[in-house]
Amino acid sequence: MARGPSLANKCQLLFGGAVLLILAGALAAPWIRLESVVEESQREMSRQLAETWVGNGFALNRTEGIPIPIRVVPIEQIEDGSSADPFVDAAYREFIVGPGVVEYFTSVRGSKGIVYRYARALREGEWRAIQDRQFVDFSARASETALGDPLRAILVIERTSTFAADQILSSRWYILAGGVLAVVLAVIVFSLILTKLIFSPVRRLRASAERVRRGDLTVRSALRTGDELEELSRAFDEMLDEMNRGHQSLRAMNESLDLKVVELSEVNVGLFESNRLKSEFLANVSHELRTPLNSIIGFAELLFEIASSDATADPKRVRYISNILTSARMLLDMINELLDMAKIEAGRMSLAVVPSNATDIVEGLQTIMRPQAMARQLTLTAQVESDLPTVETDPGKLQQVLYNFLSNAVKFSRAGGEIRISAESTSMDGREAVRISVSDDGDGVPFDLQETIFEKFRQVDASHTKSHGGTGLGLAICRELATMLGATIGIISQPGHGATFFVEVPLFFRVVERKPLMPVGAHLATPVQPTPLSPSGRAESTSSSFTRGSESQ
């Protein structure tokens, strides 16, 4: 951005212009009045000459040797037009029109100076005294012009004055020079005053502000002018003191935050490592628990078959073995959920992506879940859109997600209700996809839990007296599996009118890379990329996992 004139230049230019206009207006009056004053003085001089000539009884055309340009023009010469003088004719008209007018004066600038012309009206009484050559009276007397005294002649005085023209010119030069000198002196004095009182303190403040802009908060202006600029300087210095204190406080806080960030980073790494060890421990323990539990279930099933085939068996024994078998299977389901979640968190859950038919998956689930639905007196129906496209996904993981949806629907539906499973084509983020939904006629999910129900260990009824068991990991596992498959899950529910859980699976699988918990280079390695498709068309893909990076001791 182009910089304009400085404050000093603006003030000097504006003040100089203002002084020039003021002095020009002030000197215009004497400039114009000067010529009028000179003209009035010349008129007065001509009047005195005329009064002297008339009052002292000079004879016509007699000036006692003094070359005074005086002449008398009789009225007869004017009336018959023999005077041939426009000035005399103009004076005559003035005297005739106005009987009280006794003189007429004009000035004309000529080549040798200013020509002043003066005309005096000579009435009857004065004219008779002048014409009587024998009556010469040199005593001073006043001529009375009676009313009706006729005009007999005009006394004309014509003088050329070079002195008056020179005086006017020289006086105007003096006025002009004085005005210019006054403007220059006023500008110089004003500049000195402004520089001392305003510009110098302002420059100090500007220099201080420039140093502050470069980051130097120790600078102080410390003006001692005793006026508003000193108050401004004091406020500026106090602001810098406050900024300096705030800067030091922020620096201390930043140092403290840096230490906290380092501590949190170390704690985060420790927590991540603890979480990884916990997940591995759960995966290992869950895997180890399944072996003896499978043995318990197997022997319980064998005992149940023996007790059921023995007609003499005690009914209580059959019932007790059935309770053992039911509890063992419930425990196995819980262990399987814990194992799946532990594998997912530990990054050990693998994917086998192949082209899959959604219709086959829905029909298979309908066949598997029909006995459980019939045991609860529920009707299970399927509605599949014709000509559904093939999707690239892991059919086992997708079936596990839908199995959890159906299990929850069977668990929370009222006896005699209906469970509906449907599949249709849809779009997902601008991509083609297949949407599979599971709807029930249960109590539904409250609005305040519909966002959190997919989190770990979250259940609609989390009290100790809940009517339905479970760990609260089923829907959380569904969300994790859907994320691995590049799919999305959601819920549509109206409390008291059932719920609909759905999963949208894109037609083409894309590897989802999980973001690292820590930035690259902060104790953790980058995610492991999944393996590409095998020649057989299967894609062995594992979820993104993290390993502990090397730490400098």
Residue 362's nearest CA partner among 382, 385, 378 is 382
State residue 3's pLDDT score.
60
CA 257 – CA 265 distance, rounded (Å): 12
Q: Which fold has domain 349-517+524-542?
A: Heat Shock Protein 90 (3.30.565)
CA 473 – CA 334 distance, rounded (Å): 9
Q: Which two tokens stand for residue 341?
A: 């979640």
State residue 7's pLDDT score.
66
Residue 502's nearest CA partner among 478, 485, 480, 484 is 478
State residue 437's pLDDT score.
92
CA 413 – CA 377 distance, rounded (Å): 10
* φ, ψ at 32 (rounded to 5°): -80, -40
Q: In what order do the strands lie in the sheet with 391-393?
A: 391-393, 350-356, 539-542
Strands annotated E in 313-374 = 350-356
The DSSP 8-state label assigned to residue 83 in this structure reads: S
Residues in the chain predicted with pLDDT less than 70, given as ranges, are 1-4, 6-8, 55-68, 82-83, 99, 129-148, 282-283, 286-287, 346-348, 457-472, 511-553
What's the first-to-final CA gap in the chain, in angstroms?
55
State residue 434's pLDDT score.
92
Which residues are 316's β-sheet partners? none
Q: Which two tokens stand for residue 290?
A: 């399944």
CA 466 – CA 552 distance, rounded (Å): 51
State residue 141's pLDDT score.
40
Measure CA 369 to chain center: 61
What is the chain's alpha carbon radius of gyration, rounded to the nearest angstrom?
61
CA 303 – CA 330 distance, rounded (Å): 18
pLDDT in tens, 28-74: 877 777 777 887 888 888 888 888 777 665 544 444 455 667 788 88
Measure CA 343 to chain center: 50
| Cβ neighbours of 12 (radius 10 Å) | 18
Residue 192's nearest CA partner among 326, 69, 8 is 8
State residue 422's pLDDT score.
92
For every residue of 409-448, DSSP letters joined together read HHHHSPTT-EEEEEEEEEEETTEEEEEEEEE--S----GG
State residue 346's pLDDT score.
66
Residue 473's nearest CA partner among 312, 336, 322, 331 is 336
| Cβ neighbours of 41 (radius 10 Å) | 14
Q: Where are the domains of the chain?
A: 7-172, 349-517+524-542
CA 211 – CA 236 distance, rounded (Å): 13
Residues 6+ apart with CB under 8 A from 170: none
